[in-house]
Amino acid sequence: MAFTSLDLAQKLENGSLKGDPFSVLGMHESPDGKGLFIRTMQPQAKAVEVLDKNKKKLGKMTQIFGGIFQLNLPKAKDFFAYNFKITLPDDSVYEVDDPYRFLPVLGDMDLYLFGEGQHWEIYKKLGAHLITHQGVQGVSFAVWAPNASRVSVVGSFNNWDGRRHLMRPRGSSGIWEIFIPGLSEWDIYKYELLDKDGRLLPLKADPYGFVSEVRPKTGSLVYDIASYAWHDEKWMENRAKNTNHREHPISIYEVHLGSWRRDENNRWQTYLEMARELPKYVKEMGFTHVEFLPVAEFPFDGSWGYQETGLYAPTSRYGTPGDFRYLIDQLHQANIGVIMDWVPAHFPKDAFGLANFDGTALYEHADPRKGEHKDWGTKIYNYGRNEVSNFLLANALFWIREYHIDGLRVDAVASMLYLDYSRKDGEWIPNQYGGRENLEAIALLRKLNELVYGEKSGAITIAEESTAWPMVSRPTYLGGLGFGFKWNMGWMHDTLGYMKEDPVNRKYHQNELTFSFLYAFTENFVLPLSHDEVVHGKGTILGRMPGDEWQRFANLRAYYGYMFMHPGKKLLFMGQEWGSTREWNYASSLEWHLLQYPVHKGVQTLVKELNAFYCNHPELYSLDCEGSGFEWIDGSDVENSCLTFKRKDKNGNSLIVACNFTPVPRYNYRIGVDEKGTYREVFNTDLAKYNGSDTKNVGDIQTEEPGWNFKPYALRVVLPPLAVVVFQIKK
């Protein structure tokens, strides 16, 4: 349909045209077939001239009304390149290329794959991209808004005037696009949309934008995503080779970037400052990975990043995307993996974000029974819509491919799996079979894991899933969700409940320590002591420990020792590695000053050496997810509140772990063993260097007969108070 009449051009100026502005503006054949004409909308201009590619003046345009200018070229036959020379009311002059003389950038295959929900590099097409198009440098913009009647790119380059860069609709795809010549990196922009009835919506940030303004500003910025030169080739090569993470040590240091370390003025560190300090510290402490709380752009500091508005943009709070890549690069060069929290479960209602994007419930469900999380005051993605699932799945691959992220910890998986999550009767809609399972979300999670592991890059996925949903970390071809690992929320809840009990009462709660072994190998578990356990009035991990100061710290050391000896990968939130004394506050620094005190320094030293011991002993990780890597010796010594068990590797090597959860040392404590020989103590959480009582087993320990615990031989050892001790046979 060709909109070439003056009437339709006037409608265009008034913002009411529902059609393709490219059929009105730009260069066109004259209605009578004799010559060409050029039409432009320049509402800011006093006068407009047309120049050819050699800057030769072709004529002054006639202002046919308002901001519409036209130049008739009756002798012209072939289309050609041209520019405008624009004179403003103050008589200043500038030249600009006409965006309406350029062909579309997106190809038909891009539109098709996006509509099918299978364009895994859609972030290279939608959004803003620095390109050379038809020999001209500029920026291509594309946005999905199928129910809008008009979409424009606005920014300081056009005085935020939505009439000047109206976008081209691409048929039934719902995508609008335009190439604007002359724009450059770091130009700020947003999208101006009219809804289907022609009403102006709040300006929208780019869903696919690579950079956002620092909050409270909300604009998107043009950025060259391909501009960074990586130096982590060795890490990436090794990552792709070593893909069986179930058999590797994984000890994760969970970090909130804004509060890990601040200066005396309470200013957070930048990505570049953290790149100088964080890799060194994590390496020194022996963690194998860091896990960042969400880094995708978010407007509200108090959400900790879990209410994201810019899924393709690392937050600008701490620097540029290049700065964030440098931080990752430095961590990789220090042989430290990088996991990031990824949040596909919900998004905030901020007017500039995804909510009601084109005047309709586009990214979310329209029905609040499916489209809103009342607990969080957020919207829920419409996972069944192809373009929305494509937006999320391509985003997961984006972080792995473009930012070399080694793993995605998927937040709030339980809220995605269940339609009745945190809802009363009548507040949710059953699925097509009448059940409570969210079939569309399940399909998305399975596809996510198939894509991530299909990359064969060595990247992993981890589910934060708090229910008994089966086979979360089993392959999709077996009916599982396909995650690599699952947080063991039950272990965290039960063991913290046990540790807060006074030791005199612990004999009545031994099952809270041992229950996890009933299901320890049903999933590939991560044992988390996460940020969620040190906020909202829960205090700190140290704060849960009973007794006087000595006992509290001894309890904490014993608990960490038990965590590292228990099957499962490890995760510890920042500050807990030295026994933080106050609840985590996102708006202030960790209590680094506590390290001047021996009790806190001792805990930090313990965690450092636990990491080293764990990584150096395959018995503690190579069969982490297999029942054959664990064997009970005695889990029923409730009167003494003691546990003894064996950890094993594939080669028959083993460690004997003994835990004493009372402040009473156990002398001549008997432990059954299978092998006759000489044993030695190889780890003890009660040593003086950890600020313990230094009760220990010195020298060789010979097996004796008769045996014990239904074993042919026995060891007679001392179990220090509130401690975990590890023994190994000498070979």
Closest residue by Cα to residue 527 from 629, 613, 620: 620
Q: Is the dihedral of CA 673, 676, 678, 682 positive or negative?
A: negative
- Whether 391 and 344 have beta carbons less than 8 Å apart is answered as no
Three-state DSSP at 625 gives: coil
CA angle 202, 207, 210 (to 5 degrees): 120
Q: How many other C-beta atoms can be found within 10 angstroms of the C-beta atom of residue 464?
A: 21
Dig out the tokens for 216 from the structure. 């409270």
Tokens 């990780």 locate to 621
For 31-116, where are the alpha helices, taking DSSP H only?
108-116
- DSSP secondary structure string for all residues of 365-409: -SSHHHHEETTTTEE-B-TTSHHHHHHHHHHHHHHHHHS---EEE
Q: Distance between CA atoms of 413 and 345, rounded to whole angstroms?
A: 7
Alpha-carbon distances, residue 625 vs 245, 345, 528, 648 (angstroms): 10, 27, 15, 12
- Whether 453 and 482 have beta carbons less than 8 Å apart is answered as yes
CA angle 254, 260, 263 (to 5 degrees): 175
Check if 649 is active-site: no
CA angle 37, 159, 46 (to 5 degrees): 45
Catalytic residue among 291, 406, 464, 512: 464
DSSP state of 275: H
For 439-540, where are the alpha helices, taking DSSP H only?
439-454, 489-499, 510-514
- Whether 630 and 645 have beta carbons less than 8 Å apart is answered as yes
Residue 330 identity: Q
Q: Distance between CA atoms of 534 and 529, rounded to whole angstroms?
A: 9
Distance of CA 539 to the CA centre of its chain: 26
Q: How many other C-beta atoms can be found within 10 angstroms of the C-beta atom of residue 318?
A: 20
- DSSP secondary structure string for all residues of 517-528: GGTTTSS-EEEE
As a whole number of Å, the end-to-end CA separation of the chain is 86
Catalytic residue among 411, 512, 523, 609: 411
Over its C-alpha atoms, the chain yields an Rg (Å, rounded) of: 31
- Whether 568 and 491 have beta carbons less than 8 Å apart is answered as yes
Closest residue by Cα to residue 573 from 529, 614, 527: 529
Q: Distance between CA atoms of 681 and 698, rounded to whole angstroms?
A: 8
Q: Is the dihedral of CA 512, 517, 521, 522 positive or negative?
A: negative
Three-state DSSP at 151 gives: strand
Q: Distance between CA atoms of 429 and 572, rounded to whole angstroms?
A: 38
Check if 32 is active-site: no
Distance of CA 164 to the CA centre of its chain: 36
Three-state DSSP at 423 gives: coil
- Identify the helix (H) or strand (E) that includes residue 294: none
Q: Distance between CA atoms of 523 and 471, rounded to whole angstroms?
A: 7
3-state secondary structure 685-707: CCCHHHCCCCCCCCCCEECECCC
Q: Is the peptide bond before 216 cis (omega within 30 degrees of 0)?
A: yes
Three-state DSSP at 476 gives: helix
DSSP state of 67: T
Q: Which residues are known to be catalytic?
A: 411, 464
